[in-house]
Amino acid sequence: MLSNYPNIMEQMNKVEKILQSSIRSKQPLVNQATQELLASGGKRLRPLLMLVSSMLGEYIEERILPIAAAIEILHMATLVHDDIIDDAHLRRNSETVQSKWGKDVAVFTGDFLLCKAFLLISSYNDIANIKKLAKAMRVICEGEIQQYQHRYKTNLSVIGYLKRIAAKTAILFSISGYVGAYEAKCSKRIINACANFGMNMGMAFQITDDILDFTGKRTVLGKPINSDWAQGIYTLPIIYALKDKKYGDEMRKCLEEDMDLKEKASVINELVFRSGGIAYARKMAQKYINKAYDNLNILPPGPSREVMEDMIERLINREK
Amino acid sequence: MLSNYPNIMEQMNKVEKILQSSIRSKQPLVNQATQELLASGGKRLRPLLMLVSSMLGEYIEERILPIAAAIEILHMATLVHDDIIDDAHLRRNSETVQSKWGKDVAVFTGDFLLCKAFLLISSYNDIANIKKLAKAMRVICEGEIQQYQHRYKTNLSVIGYLKRIAAKTAILFSISGYVGAYEAKCSKRIINACANFGMNMGMAFQITDDILDFTGKRTVLGKPINSDWAQGIYTLPIIYALKDKKYGDEMRKCLEEDMDLKEKASVINELVFRSGGIAYARKMAQKYINKAYDNLNILPPGPSREVMEDMIERLINREK
């Protein structure tokens, strides 16, 4: 993806090095958990977005790299805590922290990462950025709890779903674009375009993620499919199917029924397709992708915009 | 306790108000959880220590109150996450967040509190304090994981135990004294005395807490007794008993044996008393209390020192 942009790739490698060094711990178990987490990969989309947004203005490596690393660490912290809640055993084809070492270690590994992220930003002397990231994290926590509260509810609205994924996922992308362009002293117009691009990309990213929970392949995804509804988290395809005149009642009945999980999965999968829930979710994702392209039109041509376009194209063809 | 010091009491009331307003959330469940947590009380020892330390120098209310509130919020965050790990149902005679709403809500309520604490400090524009608190929190997380890793181990050393409680508990007291005096521009000698006082008081506080897990009354403590060893957390009285020539083997055997919990409790309680484990722990707590009094001798006479003396006296007579 970045092979045509050696400069950006070099900067991303530096982010990786900061990540590695800054989440080290003297406590061997914490260290093992965080280093494995790092090694298991991840697309590093948030730091990349921050970097390319920052390259639209006055790019100051020493300032932007630690914040880019910090945002990835915050993201990692939410993943570790998410997995506790989801009781997840696999992520990125690796065993999760909570599955390998128990919820105990997972709780404090997540906390450790949160603290490290704030520590990293505060080492580079910028209170405004700490505030922004702390606020974003607060919204994420509230979004997660909102999602939990809405589990097993069959009367969810599309708007409620969109708000929830904005809080849970898109905000961190939006902050990445915003901080990058803001730190580079870009114009308000450019800063807003980057922030909005992040928001729209984040929305499309999460909707696609939710579609893949029905259509994805377990081995490619690196985590089990159908893991959302089995835990009572009803995403866009199901919310749409529940509102469908023809299939709504059937979907509700099936979700509420206590039946064999495999059988249930096959009925639900059929219903989300037949009702048009998957098609609707795809259309919604496309809507956000179009908006993201609109945001890009505001940016000047060049490597940053090209990489951002590439991020979107990969999102469309996303299999994991 | 503070009735003779109306000025300090007034400042503590202001801390309480900041606490109330700053952990509010638009998300109703988060709000309910955090407000109940606040209402369930707590001794507010850390903010109090910070305030009186700060009154030894140039006390600036606007600066010190938010940090004092933030340190209490950090403490609350660790309690919420602690309870997940301990699977605790009661704290301060109230049902815990995780017991009432589940681990899911507890994980993100704790995270929410962590973010709010960092947000609160960063609103008052001091990067040095954020760093100190983030570092302290990192040590606490590592201490908690250390404790988890040492569960059910019968070969723990006293030194290991002391290090563990320093990281888990005493550091936040130490930071409270340090930041208070540092912010008030006290001399290095006074700053160190306050930091050391906090450390020594914190050590005595935790050892007393661990003694009370054997000797306390459930209704007074507001949480079940004997909750530590039942979860494999062996504290000073047990560590001492395990090293005893006469009772060590019996203690080890009893801890490892799969027997009725009530019966086990009565044997263990007898062994920690007979081996002198409780007496030893009391002596150790006294050692730290004496050290704390030595630290106080460095401070000028006056309300701050008097309140700190009072904190120690209450610690000695502590029943909960």
List, for residues B163-205, the tens digit of each pLDDT value.
999 998 999 999 999 999 999 999 999 999 999 999 999 999 9
pLDDT of residue A219: 55
Q: Which of B96, B88, B92 is nearest to B34 (CA)?
A: B96
Q: B156-165 burial, b for 16+ CB within 10 Å, e for fewer?
A: beeeebbebb
Closest CA to B118 of A182, A74, A133: A133
Residue type for position A290 = N
Enumerate residues 6+ apart whose C-beta is below 8 A from B101: B29, B33, B109
Q: Confirm whether the ipTM is greater than 0.90.
A: no
Of A25, A105, A118, the CB nearest to B148: A105
Q: Please give the pLDDT value at position A223.
A: 59
Q: What is the structure's pLDDT at A192?
A: 98
Query: What would the CATH number be for the domain defined by A6-308?
Result: 1.10.600.10
Among A residues 110-139, those touching chain B with beta carbons less than 8 Å apart: 110-112, 114-116, 118-119, 122-123, 125-127, 130-131, 134-135, 137-138
- pLDDT (tens, 9 = 90+) of chain A, 320 residues, equals 788 999 999 999 999 999 999 888 888 888 888 888 888 778 899 999 999 999 999 999 999 999 999 999 999 998 888 877 766 666 666 777 766 767 778 888 898 898 888 888 887 767 787 788 888 888 888 888 888 888 889 999 999 999 999 998 999 999 999 999 999 999 999 999 999 999 999 999 999 999 998 887 665 555 555 678 888 899 999 999 999 999 999 999 999 888 888 888 889 999 999 999 999 999 999 999 999 999 999 999 999 999 999 999 988 877 66
DSSP A169: I
Nearest to B134 among A81, A119, A141 (CB): A119
Biggest alpha carbon–alpha carbon distance for chain B: 59
B224 φ/ψ angles, rounded to the nearest 5 degrees: -65, 150
Note the Cα B1 to chain centre separation in Å.
Answer: 19
Query: Judging by beta carbons within 10 Å of its beta carbon (0-12, 13-18, 19+), is residue A162 exposed, middle or buried?
Result: middle
Instruction: Kindly list the residues from chain A whose CB atom is less than 8 angstroms away from the CB atom of residue B87.
Output: none
| A108 touches B at CB < 8 Å | yes
Q: What count of other Cβ atoms lies within 10 Å of the Cβ of residue B275?
A: 23
Nearest by CB: B142 against A112, A119, A146: A112
Confidence of residue B246 (pLDDT cuts 50, 70, 90): very high
Cα separation of A206 and A201, whole Å? 9
CA distance A96 to A83: 7
Lowest mean pLDDT: which of A208-212, B1-5, B47-51? B1-5
Positive or negative: CA dihedral B170, B171, B174, B175: negative
Give residue A319's pLDDT.
63
Helices B45-54 and B61-86: crossing angle in degrees, nearest 10, is: 160
A90: part of which helix (H) or strand (E)?
A: strand A90-91
Between A115, A118, A145, which is nearest B141 by CB? A115
Helix (H) or strand (E) holding A76: helix A61-86
- Using one digit for the tens of pLDDT, what is the confidence trace for B257-310? 888 888 888 899 999 999 999 999 999 999 999 999 999 999 999 999 999 999
d(CA A257, CA A272): 17
Amino acid B137: pLDDT: 84
The correct answer on CATH 3.60.9.10 for the domain covering B6-316 is no
Residues B131, A146: C-beta atoms closer than 8 Å? no
Q: Hey, are the CB atoms on A127 and B131 less than 8 Å from each other? A: no
Single out the residue of B34, B66, B307, B296 nearest to residue A138, CA to CA: B34
pLDDT at position A91: 65
Which of A108, A130, A145 is closest, CB to CB, to B141? A108
Which H or E run contains A79?
helix A61-86
Task: For residue A94, give the H/E element and its range.
Answer: strand A94-95
Q: What is the DSSP letter of A300?
A: P
Res. B219 pLDDT band, cuts 50 70 90: low
Instruction: Tell me the C-alpha distance between B92 and B94, whole Å.
Output: 5
Position A88 scores a pLDDT of 64
Q: What is the DSSP string of chain B?
A: --TT-HHHHHHHHHHHHHHHHHT--SSHHHHHHHHHHHHT----HHHHHHHHHHTTS---HHHHHHHHHHHHHHHHHHHHHHHHHHT--EETTEE-HHHHH-HHHHHHHHHHHHHHHHHHHHTTT-HHHHHHHHHHHHHHHHHHHHHHHTTT-S---HHHHHHHHIIIIIHHHHHHHHHHHHHTT--HHHHHHHHHHHHHHHHHHHHHHHHHHHH--HHHHTS-SSHHHHTT---HHHHHHHH-TTTHHHHHHHHHS---HHHHHHHHHHHHHHTTHHHHHHHHHHHHHHHHHHHHHHSPSSHHHHHHHHHHHHHHT---
Q: Which of B316, B261, B241 is nearest to B283 (CA)?
A: B316
Return the residue of B nearest to A117 by Cα: B134
Contact between B97 and B109 (Cβ < 8 Å): yes
Let me know: does A288 contact A297? Beta carbons within 8 Å: no
Q: Is residue B166 within 8 angstroms of chain A, CB to CB?
A: no
Q: Which residues contact A129 (CB under 8 A, 6 or more apart)?
A: A67, A121, A179, A183
Minimal C-alpha gap between A217 and chain B (Å):
27
Q: C-alpha angle with apex B15: B11 to B18, nearest 5 degrees?
A: 135
Helix, strand or coil, per DSSP, at residue A91: strand
Secondary structure letter of residue A222 according to DSSP: T
For the ranges A44-48, A261-265, B81-85, B141-145, which has the lowest average pLDDT?
A: B81-85
Q: In this predicted structure, what is the pLDDT of residue A191?
A: 97
Show residues of chain A in contact with B141, CB under 8 Å: 30, 108-109, 111-112, 115
The residue ranking higher by pLDDT, B236 or B146, is B236
pLDDT at B211: 94
Q: How confident is the model at residue B149 (pLDDT cuts 50, 70, 90)?
A: confident
Q: Is the pLDDT of residue B224 over 70?
A: no
pLDDT at B237 over 90: yes
Taking the C-alpha atoms of residue A45 and residue A310, their distance in angstroms, rounded to an integer, is 11
What dihedral do alpha carbons B302, B308, B314, B316 form, nearest 10°?
A: -120
pLDDT above 80 for B89: no
DSSP SS3 for A261: helix
pTM of the model: 0.86
Determine the average pLDDT of the residues in B63-76: 93
Does the pLDDT at position B110 exceed 80? yes
Distance CA A310, CA A287 (A): 17
Q: Which of B86, B84, B268, B233 is nearest to B151 (CA)?
A: B233
